[in-house]
Structure 1
Amino acid sequence: MAVSYKKLLHMLIDKDMSIAELQRQAGYSANISTRLRNDTYISLESVEKICRVLNCKMDEIIEFIPEDGGSNNGQNS
């Protein structure tokens, strides 16, 4: 599965907060900000820091996307 942080980026826009401000408040490295922009894996610890700052749940900022583009989860109609 691939990961997408588009929900997070939209939330930041809605809150009029930059990714740099989030980084400062959450106390994570610039490398994490780059990973967020590039939709690459970040640790659960970093996700927790972000959720604490934004007062949100993980599913409000992260979306998991099947890499094959299809649905192979056994829920065929």
Structure 2
Amino acid sequence: MAVRYEKLFHLLDERKITTRELEKLAGYSGNITTRMRRNEYISLESIEKICMTLGCCVDDIIDFTNEN
């Protein structure tokens, strides 16, 4: 199973928030953004920070697929 973060990037576009702004607001490094752009796994702690900052749920920012 693979993880995809397109929902997150669409949400950021809708809210006119850059990834750099989100990094600062949520308190995580640019490395996490790079991993998300590559659809790689990130820690649950980072996902929690993003959701708390954006006021959303996990399923608002992440999709799980059967692709590898």
Q: TM-score, normalised by structure 2?
A: 0.96
Larger relative contact order (CA 8 Å, sep ≥ 6): 2
Unmatched runs of 5 consecutive residues or more in structure 2 = none
1:36-72 CA deviation, whole Å, 9 max, x = no partner? 111110000000000001000000000000026xxxx
Distance 1:25 1:39 in 2: 21
Query: What do you get for the CA RMSD once the two structures are aligned?
Result: 0.9
Runs of at least 5 residues in structure 1 that lack an aligned partner in the other structure = 69-77
Aligned residues: 68
User: Identity of aligned pairs, percent?
Assistant: 53
2:3 is equivalent to residue 7 of structure 1: no
How many Å apart are 1:30 and its aligned residue? 1.1
Pick the structure with more helix per residue. Answer: 2
Q: Which residue in the other structure is 1:64 paired with?
A: 64
Partner of 1:72 in structure 2?
none
Q: Which runs of 4+ in 1 moved over 2 A?
A: none
After TM superposition, list the pairs within 5 Å mapping 1:37-52 onto structure 2. 37-52=37-52
TM-score, length basis structure 1: 0.85
